[in-house]
Amino acid sequence: MFFTSLATFLLLPAAIRAAAITNSTIACNNSPALCSKTYGQVTYLGAHDSPFVRDESTGFSTSGNQYYNSTVQLSAGVRLLTAQVQIPDGSTALHVCHTSCDLLDAGSLTDWLIEVRTWLESNPNEVVTLLLVNGVNALGSELTAQYDAAGITSSLAYTPSGPSSTSQNWPTLQSLISSGTRLINFVPDLNENSGAPFLMNEWNYVFENDYEITSPSDFSCDLNRPANLINRTPQAVSNGMMPLMNHFLYHTDEGSLFSIEQPNATYVTTTNGEAGLGNLGTAAETCRSTYGRAPTFILVDFWNVGPAIATVDQLNGVSSPVGRARVSTANEAPTSDAAPPPARTWTLCLMSIALLVTYAVL
């Protein structure tokens, strides 16, 4: 029976066979259940200050917000990467730096964008979002030059259908994947993007809660940005703006001469977990109730701890993710041989095999 069914399947026109596989077996962002959802209906795990890593490569810098680099983040299911754009002293080149390039310089913006592009090219069924904090007020044309140099503008960048949330119709993940425009780009306070419509002013589409939290009892779902919508959360939601839920703690290094705020790694097991004061699971449910919908983005430090992605999977109704790399959930930086290699998404191959097995049962 298996060979008869298999032979019948293989005799079908190629287009029909492809449609059968594509429509029923392809995973979008690690789950077939997400393919038919619009971009704005999905919840995405975000790595706050994605390129700023606390590991051997940075001397375990206490300014690092993550234990694993952006490639590993993406392979393990993170789908929102944020970074700060700065310029090193004595240079004109745009870099990704943590507040100041003297504090933590993760290299040129172009190189980081190339890292993201390389991962996307190896994982054709994934939609990724970038949020660039424009610390030097770079013009849209200047940022576009970095995207051009990274080979992104003409191939991967998505251009919105409208200039704000009230006129924007978000496509489904499957539509974004089919069109190849799988990289969504936001820049806060972008005043000029002529010639760069793919760079979206964040505050035209997204609102955020507070982000400068030092006590786990202070987490709130109240809208904090954009400033013109403070105390008007219902209006932001009704206008179709997508909620970005910041959920990370800072602590002040009392031994520092300048009392610098640093990512709080000590409490992150609770912060990113599902129990305890200020935990992510409860906060996400609270914000879902407040907004009348799940947050679109959940932004955390040390994303692997918790694990934070468990809360995101629950919000998305995903119980069996596909093609997601496994990473340690330990609250510590990996050693040089502990970090997993970048994972390619072999979804189509594996799901095609599963389809053939299904025919064997018929």
User: What confidence tens digit (pLDDT) does each residue in 96-146 have?
Assistant: 999 999 999 999 999 999 999 999 999 999 999 999 999 999 999 999 999
Cis peptide before 160 (omega within 30 of 0): no
Residue position matching structure tokens 């692997």: 304
244-252: average pLDDT = 96
CA triple 15-16-18, angle to 5 deg: 65
In 61-148, which ranges are E strands? 80-86, 95-97, 105-108, 128-134
- For residues 351 and 21, the answer to whether their CB atoms sit within 8 Å is yes
| Phi, psi angles (nearest 5°) of residue 61 | -55, 130
Supply the mean pLDDT for the chain.
Answer: 88
Q: Which residue has the tokens 């971009």?
A: 39
**Structural domain spans, the chain:** 1-27+350-362, 36-344
- Report the alpha-carbon distance of residue 180 to residue 199 in Å, rounded: 17
For residue 256, give Cα distances in angstroms to 181, 189, 261, 263, 276.
45, 31, 9, 14, 29
Q: How far apart are CA 98 and CA 104, in angstroms?
A: 5
Q: How confident is the model at residue 337 (pLDDT cuts 50, 70, 90)?
A: low
Per CATH, the number for 36-344 is: 3.20.20.190
Give the model's pLDDT for residue 120.
98
**Residue 362 reports pLDDT greater than 90:** no
Contacts of 90 (CB under 8 A, 6+ apart): none
Q: What span, in angstroms and rounded, lies between the C-alpha atoms of 34 and 43?
A: 10
Query: pLDDT tens, 265-322?
Result: 999 999 999 999 999 999 999 999 999 999 999 999 999 999 999 999 999 999 999 9
Q: What share of the chain is helix, strand, coil (3-state, %, to 5)?
A: 35, 15, 50
How far is residue 135's CA from residue 105's CA, in Å, rounded to a whole number? Answer: 13
Question: DSSP 3-state assignment of 287?
Answer: helix
